[in-house]
Amino acid sequence: MKDDFTEKRSEPRNIIDQYHSVEFSLHDCAFTYQFKIWDISSKGICVLVKENSNLLNYLKVGSISELKYYTNNALKPIEYLKTKIRHITKDDEGRFKGLYLVGLSILEPPKL
């Protein structure tokens, strides 16, 4: 059987190696949450949130916040970028069963 590793997603993927995690520090929320970035595409990124996380009470699809992104560049370790929440989707039976996939879209281009 031949291994077929061709991309099967509907949109092209642009892997950007500059970010490894994102931090949510929302004004109404007493806590700060940091998540590994799991998925990067031309239209957004995805983070995983546990179903019992208090953060879910503060996230709303369509809301825009300035989030703190941690980069892989030692000369520029963090960036604050305006980000929109695109979707909050619970995975009931897949690889991330019991977790919410929170889709984010960076609204401004990263500063070079």
- The domain spans of the chain are 19-106
HEC string of 11-52 equals CCCCCCCCEEEEEECCCCCCCCEEEECCEECCCCEEEEEECC
Q: What is the pTM of this model?
A: 0.77
Q: Does domain 19-106 fall into CATH 3.20.20.60? A: no
Q: CA-CA-CA-CA torsion for 101, 5, 14, 95, nearest 10 degrees?
A: 10
Interval 48-102: pLDDT, tens:
999 999 999 999 999 999 999 998 888 888 999 999 999 999 988 888 888 999 9
